[in-house]
């Protein structure tokens, strides 16, 4: 029996360039793991079981689906029991389910002595969800395509982050469905690649004024139009001293970067009774 931690993520930058023929969207995103974790405990079992207090039916549980997929693809004859303890809120834009799936594949490969490479695990993970491959290459990476093209990015500095999730859930499928698709992907992606490189350099330098000038999350405007409270939270964070603030992924969680844990905690105390957490970004050296 052993336990692994599955970290949450934020999106520093998220460009959506259009819908693909397979129904997914092409994205360009700089993603970052943060110190907020679910935990998964693995043990041998004759059957296939996921034990969790989260209200997730088996057919929708990415941990269970990861177990079934790996067992089928690798011809495993034994079973497993995974106990999933959730601390990452669901449908929050923090990648909890995707991180759980990646961690399940990693843990099961170890439990079943499959000796799969990161590349092989990430390829399987992409069959479970677009964000899953990122978690094999974090803590910071550039993610492209539908999420299957992942390039690790150096992340040497750790930042204090305040996460705030209002009392609502946003479906990623709904959020992507709201986007206009009139832009030319080729022309836009060239510019956004330049912005991503500038963003990464500025993040390492702590130049949050410049970061704010090139900030982008294409899902944020349509989500805020439907749920104005998300914009209110972002404005409140800036008003309370956040150096940078944005919605993460498809929302509704908003994150703010603060120059100290004290300032982040003070800002959290002035938030409405939402789910809030002060965390730090994870670094490449652990």
Domains of the chain: 2-152 (3.30.230.10), 160-280 (3.30.70.890)
Averaged pLDDT for residues 82-107:
97
Residue with tokens 């959506």: 16
| pTM for this entry | 0.92
Can you give the pLDDT at residue 191? 54
Residue with tokens 């490189």: 197
Q: What percent of the chain has pLDDT over 70?
A: 94
Averaged pLDDT for residues 90-107:
96
Can you give the pLDDT at residue 181? 42
pLDDT single digits (tens) 251-266: 999 999 999 999 999 9
As separate numbers, helices (DSSP H) first and strands (DSSP E) second, the chain gives 9, 10
Can you give the pLDDT at residue 196? 76
pLDDT single digits (tens) 47-79: 999 999 888 887 789 999 999 999 999 999 999
pLDDT at 197 over 80: no
Burial classification of residue 210, based on how many CB atoms lie within 10 Å of its CB (0-12 exposed, 13-18 middle, 19 or more buried): middle
CA atoms within a 13 Å half-sphere pointing along the CA-CB vector of 139: 21
- How does strand 149-152 pair with strand 140-145? antiparallel
The number of residues making up the chain comes to 286
Distance separating alpha carbons of residues 137 and 263, to the nearest angstrom: 31
**Residues with catalytic function:** 9, 131
Q: 182 pLDDT band (50/70/90 cuts)?
A: very low
Can you give the pLDDT at residue 204? 86
Residue pair 45/79 in contact by the 8 Å Cβ criterion: yes
Can you give the pLDDT at residue 179? 81
Lowest mean pLDDT among 4-13, 55-64, 263-272: 55-64
User: Could you check whether the bond before residue 275 is cis, i.e. omega within 30 degrees of 0?
Assistant: no
3-state secondary structure of 229: helix
């Amino acid at each position: 029996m052993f336990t692994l931690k599955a970290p949450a993520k934020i999106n520093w930058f998220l460009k959506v360039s259009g819908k693909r023929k397979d129904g997914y969207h092409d994205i360009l995103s700089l993603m970052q793991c943060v110190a907020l974790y679910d935990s998964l405990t693995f043990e041998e079992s004759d059957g296939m079981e996921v034990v969790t207090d989260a209200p997730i039916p088996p057919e929708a549980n990415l941990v269970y689906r990861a177990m079934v997929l790996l067992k089928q693809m690798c011809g495993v004859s034994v079973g497993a029991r995974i106990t999933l303890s959730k601390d990452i809120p669901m449908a929050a834009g923090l990648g909890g389910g995707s991180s759980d799936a990646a961690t399940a594949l990693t843990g099961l490969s170890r439990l079943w002595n499959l000796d799969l490479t990161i590349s092989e695990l990430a390829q399987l993970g992409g069959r479970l969800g677009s964000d899953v491959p990122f978690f094999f290459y974090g803590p910071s990476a550039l993610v492209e395509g539908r999420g299957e093209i992942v390039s690790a990015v150096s992340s040497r500095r750790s930042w204090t982050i305040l996460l705030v999730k209002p009392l609502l859930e946003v479906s990623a499928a709904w959020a992507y469905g709201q986007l206009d698709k009139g832009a030319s992907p080729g022309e836009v992606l060239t510019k956004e690649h330049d912005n991503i490189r500038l963003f990464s350099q500025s993040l390492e330098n702590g130049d949050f004024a410049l970061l704010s000038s090139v900030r982008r999350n294409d899902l944020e405007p349509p989500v805020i139009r439907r749920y104005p409270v998300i914009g209110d939270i972002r404005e409140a964070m800036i008003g309370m001293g956040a150096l940078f603030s944005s919605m993460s992924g498809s929302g509704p969680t908003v994150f703010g970067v603060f120059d100290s844990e004290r300032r982040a905690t003070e800002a959290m105390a002035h938030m409405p009774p939402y789910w809030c957490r002060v965390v730090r970004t994870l670094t490449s050296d652990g």
